[in-house]
A and B are shown apart, each in its own frame.
Chain A
Amino acid sequence: MDNALYVGLSRQILLRRELDIVANNIANADTTGFKVESLMARAEPAAPAHTADGPKPVKFVVANGVARDFGQGALRQTGGSFDLAIEGMGFFQVDTAEGPRFTRDGRFRLDDTGRVVSQTGHPVLGDGGEEILVDPTRGAVAIAKDGTLSQGQERVGKIGVFTFDDLTVLEKTGDNQLKNASNLQPQPAADAVVRQGFLEGSNVNPIVEITRMIEVSRAYQSITKMMDSEQELARRSVERLGRVQ
């Protein structure tokens, strides 16, 4: 009899989690290189909490995983010479103390030693995994569509753009960075184009997120309603059955 309550509760837990994800998407609607996420649910057939005459098909709702949409975000022109956006599938690689991290946030700059670093100060790696050094006194830096850096006529390095055969191995670690959670090796991204002077906005679609938010809060309300009437039913049956006696 309590099954309806528990199934409803499993849905409510999921809805709360979904709202958390929607909130994170909306909070990051203006974050460079952010990729939108959504919660996937699945039915979990489980033994009913109470069985009067044999198992009944009760299915709880559980979170199956977070789906990450790696679709292209809109490019925004900034004119900054170290503002880079990737068009197509690929990631920049930065070197952190915890190991390599991947990012689509191309807000790079030079540090005090002339290394190209990310916004978090981690060195950006070249296509061979090396740090990229630029001497700012030698003139403007031009970055080609394949990531090649040049000053004047001279090539000074190449920013590496990598991709994975399976993008689900990437795990978010914050700071717009992704971690490779498997032993899959990153591959050079052949079809990605690097655009200098552009930044990639997040691919959050505000209308979709607000719609989802409304959906979540209404669904939560209707589950509460259902649980309410379930309670009411229990209360009444106790009352009526008691009267027969």
Chain B
Amino acid sequence: MQALRTAATGMSAQQLNVDLISNNIANMNTVGFKRQRAEFQDLLYQTLEMPGAQSSDQGTVVPTGVQIGAGVKAGSTYRIHQQGSLTRTDNPYDLAIGGRGFFQVQMPSGEIGYTRAGNFSVNNEGLLVTEDGYAIEPAINVPADATNVSISKTGQVQAATAGQTEPQVLGQLELATFVNEAGLMAIGDNLYLETTASGAATVGAPGAEGVGDLIQGHIESSNVDAVSEITALIVAQRAYEMNSKVISAADEMLQTANQVSR
């Protein structure tokens, strides 16, 4: 019975939906997290009677065919790269990106990772690193005696050092942008990897055309909206329930068929 399998596809699709919603809610307070959305598509159709098939020698045609769908599938899990709201922290190494762009992170594997989470710190060698201790690319070296580190909108890092009246330029931060941000692959730890779907990274200074600004002393919150996630959760739960009802109806019909008199 097709209805059984069709309802099963509906249930597994809603299960995936709930998985994504729970991940979104779990990451509500994750810096730079971008919410995901399940995208559903209808599955293939089985054509029992072709629309437009000849119904007689007189050239009359069937106006509408009989097509029976096989259910639903999850087309993709689409990551929505919408700007998250900014939270003020007053930590000089906390950076938020206002607009497009990703920080580049030198990962231990040698690859470049991309992240929107700008809660950086300085490690024992004076390098600006992420929460996991991965260095930012291009590397910014903060001398031990540097005070009043300031990072401009355009990514210039300056600090006052002992014995100098003028602030010293420590380096220039750069951001990477992608044509299709949704095509990036998330690998956890707030990091993304470039894929063929995202296109190659274009590296530019913050504030340049098409690249976002840097905002020092702020972090970008996740773009998860609790109300819409909870609403989506209710919808998913009800849809799951309805599909299970179809399964019991189909089961009941099969049972009836089995009880046709001996």
Q: List 13 A-B contacts (CB under 8 A).
A: A20-B1, A26-B246, A27-B13, A28-B72, A29-B242, A32-B39, A34-B42, A136-B100, A139-B210, A173-B45, A217-B256, A221-B256, A224-B259
Per CB-CB distance, the 7 closest pairs between chain A and chain B, nearest first, are: A137-B210, A27-B10, A112-B199, A65-B64, A24-B69, A23-B6, A23-B3
In which size bucket is the chain A interface? 35 or more
Other-chain residue from B39, B183, B239 in contact with A29 (beta carbon distance below 8 A): B239
Measured CA separation A134–B52 after assembly (Å): 39
Residues of chain A lying within 8 A (CB to CB) of residue B63: 65, 168
Task: List the count of A-B residue pairs having beta carbons below 8 Å apart.
Answer: 215
Structural contact, B68 and A27, CB atoms closer than 8 A: no
A20-B6, A172-B69 are known contacts. Are A30 and B239 too (CB-CB below 8 A)? yes
Instruction: Kindly state whether residue A67 has any CB partner on chain B within 8 Å.
Output: yes
Q: Mark each residue of chain B from 174 to 199: 1 if its CB lies under 8 Å from any CB of chain A, else 0.
A: 00010110110000000000001111
Structural contact, A119 and B253, CB atoms closer than 8 A: no
Binding site for B on A (CB under 8 A): 12, 15-17, 19-24, 26-32, 34, 37, 39-40, 63-68, 78-80, 105, 107, 109-114, 119-120, 136-139, 168-169, 171-176, 181-182, 206, 209-210, 213-214, 216-217, 220-221, 224, 227-228, 231-232
Residues of chain A lying within 8 A (CB to CB) of residue B48: 17, 63
Other-chain residue from B2, B51, B238 in contact with A169 (beta carbon distance below 8 A): B51
Count chain B residues whose beta carbon lies closer than 8 angstroms to a beta carbon of A: 72
Residues of chain A lying within 8 A (CB to CB) of residue B245: 26, 210, 213
Measured CA separation A119–B182 after assembly (Å): 11
Other-chain residue from A20, A182, A224 in contact with B256 (beta carbon distance below 8 A): A224
